[in-house]
Structures are given as C-alpha cells and as structure tokens.
C-alpha cells in the first residue's frame, strides 16, 4: 500500500503481518493444529496463557480461527442473513476439508448456542477479524437480523460489545471498502445516536494492538501531508478530498476530528464541504462536529460523555 504523495518512502504496514511464520514455535504450532481439528476449547486454554492477540496475529492461526467460526455459524447465518430469495437460494452448506472437524466442532443453529460456543472465539479474534471480511459481513448481518427482531433488547448489549471490541477495530484495518462500511452502517443505524457516538468515541481512543497503532500513525501522517498542501484551486480541492475520503472509509473518527480542528483554526470550510461527498454513510463526522467544542478550556470540557449525548436530539438517527 503506497503512501500517495509521500516523497521518499512507500509504506506497507501489512508486510510484516503477511510474512509472519510460526516456524519452530511448538505452542503456536499446537494451537494451529487444535484449531484445524475444531478443538476450540483446548486451543483457547493455550491462547489464554499467552499475551492478548499474540496467537491470532499469525496469518495461519488467524485464518484457521476465521474458518472455524464461519463453519460453526453457517446454519444460523443462512437462517438469519435476510438476503433476497434469489441470493439465499445460492447459499450452500459450508464444508472444510478437516477430517476431525465434524466430531470436534458443533454447528450452531440458535443464538444461545452461538453465545456459549462461538462468541468467545470471535472476541479472542479481536481486530484480526480484518483477515476475513466475509466473516465480518456475516456477523454484521446476523446481529442486524437479531436487533431488528421482536426480542431486540436481549441482543442489544451483545451487539454493542461485539462492535466495540471486535468489529470497529477490525474495520479500521480494512483497506478502503465502502461496501463493508455500508454493512456496518446497516447495523449501527439501529441504535440511537448517543450509543453510536459513544462507540465512535471509544473507537478513536488510543489503540492497544500494535497493528492498530501503526495504522493510526500511517493515516495521520498521510492526512497531515495532504492538509498542508490545500489551496483554493478547485481541482486541487477535489483531488485532496477524494484521497482523504478514501482514507476515511476505514478510519473516519480521528480523521474527521483532525479535519474539524483544522477547520476551526484555519476556516477551511470550502475544503470540508468537498470532502463529505467522498465519505461513507457512517455519521462519525457528525460526532466530530458535536464534540469539537469539548476541548481543554472549552465550556463543554467538564460535561460527561453520555450527559452531552443525551441532550435533546439535534441530529436525526
């Protein structure tokens, strides 16, 4: 992934992740073998003794866990996908060429079984869910169907927890995928704006995983480079807006926050107006605008997060 406009370097923040090999590490090799046999219980015991995300950071282990989760949720997903009949009829039962899998891993067809047997594996995957955008889309469609249903309150907390801990960090590592952004928005829009804005606020906080830190540094460096060269030339504004809009597809929170701050300091409304047409449906830019007065010394600096968001709604949701 080359940094467009950077003079002296091409940056590929995923190069190290793609070339990670298990090698002679017996613990990682055992985890991989257990996952390929469908034995999540014993694999999770070993993973729990190692640093967080240490195992799933390896491509082979992360891919194996994604395939295992996809296999287990297949019956439930086919029932709750809400796909048009013409597409749903094309879905075939998912089969993996792992000999011991049918006897070790049970496919789930109810949410209670999913929560007990599969959800811990999804949470263990964390931001490394980005390795399988197909599985990410399946989880979003599954929870969208559940939250829309009659017992929405039963699944509401689990959906928010999944979005906060797994989906949003993983989405930040997906490279410019507007279709995935629309899938994400189709679930987020079911929550009131105060809950969405709380999720955005947590999303733009300091990340814990090393890959998320590198991604944030990469995006901010590229954004600052472009913002320094903004002029009032129409072609320049459109080209810069298109590049920043592409960056914001996967990391809209801190990018729009930075643009909002620059807008306040330097009055570049002419550029901000040309940026929004290239962004996705996520309303995180509205969150950046609402929070802009809440800076050190500002009159809203002492207002608690949910107290601010629970004021009479100015934005439609």
Q: Taking the CA atoms of 193, 195, 198 and 204 in sequence, report the sign of the dihedral they define.
A: negative
Question: pLDDT > 90: what percent of the chain?
Answer: 25
Question: pLDDT > 70: what percent of the chain?
Answer: 71
Domain ranges (residues) in the chain = 15-172, 210-309
The b/e string for 293-313 (b: 16+ C-beta within 10 A; e otherwise) is eeeeeeeeeeeeeeebbeeee
- pLDDT band at residue 67 under the 50/70/90 scheme: very high
How many C-beta atoms surround the C-beta of residue 275 within 10 A? 23
Convert the pLDDT of each residue in 19-32 to its tens digit.
778 888 899 999 99
- pLDDT band at residue 278 under the 50/70/90 scheme: low
- pLDDT band at residue 154 under the 50/70/90 scheme: confident
pLDDT-wise least confident of 87-101, 125-139, 159-173: 87-101
Q: Which of 75, 202, 231 is nearest to 138 (CA)?
A: 75
Convert the pLDDT of each residue in 189-203 to its tens digit.
999 888 888 888 888
Radius of gyration, CA atoms only, the chain: 21
* DSSP reduced 3-state for 71: helix
């Amino acid at each position: 992934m080359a940094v467009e406009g950077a003079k002296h370097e091409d940056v590929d923040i995923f190069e190290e992740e793609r070339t990670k090999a298990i090698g002679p590490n017996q613990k990682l090799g055992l985890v991989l073998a257990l996952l390929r046999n469908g034995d999540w219980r014993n694999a999770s015991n070993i993973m729990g003794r190692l640093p967080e995300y240490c195992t799933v950071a390896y491509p082979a282990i992360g891919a194996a866990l994604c395939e295992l989760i996809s296999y287990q949720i297949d019956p439930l997903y086919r029932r709750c996908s809400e796909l048009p009949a013409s597409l749903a009829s094309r879905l075939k039962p998912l089969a993996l060429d792992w000999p011991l899998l049918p006897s070790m891993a049970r496919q789930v067809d109810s949410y209670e079984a999913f929560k007990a047997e599969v959800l811990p594996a999804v949470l263990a995957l964390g931001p490394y869910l980005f390795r399988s955008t197909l599985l990410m889309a399946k989880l979003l469609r599954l929870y969208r169907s559940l939250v829309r249903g009659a017992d929405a309150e039963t699944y509401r907390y689990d959906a928010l927890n999944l979005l906060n801990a797994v989906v949003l960090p993983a989405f930040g590592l997906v490279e410019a995928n507007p279709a995935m952004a629309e899938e994400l928005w189709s679930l987020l829009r079911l929550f009131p704006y105060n809950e969405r804005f709380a999720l955005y606020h947590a999303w733009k906080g300091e990340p814990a995983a090393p890959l998320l830190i590198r991604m944030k540094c990469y995006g901010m460096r590229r954004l600052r480079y472009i913002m320094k060269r903004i002029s009032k030339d129409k072609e320049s504004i459109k080209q810069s807006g298109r590049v920043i809009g592409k960056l914001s597809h996967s990391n809209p929170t801190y990018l729009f926050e930075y643009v909002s701050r620059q807008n306040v300091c330097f009055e570049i409304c002419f550029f901000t107006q040309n940026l929004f047409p290239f962004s996705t449906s996520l309303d995180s830019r509205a969150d950046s605008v609402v929070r802009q007065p809440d800076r050190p010394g500002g009159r809203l600096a002492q207002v608690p997060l949910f107290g601010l968001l629970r004021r009479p709604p100015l934005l439609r949701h």
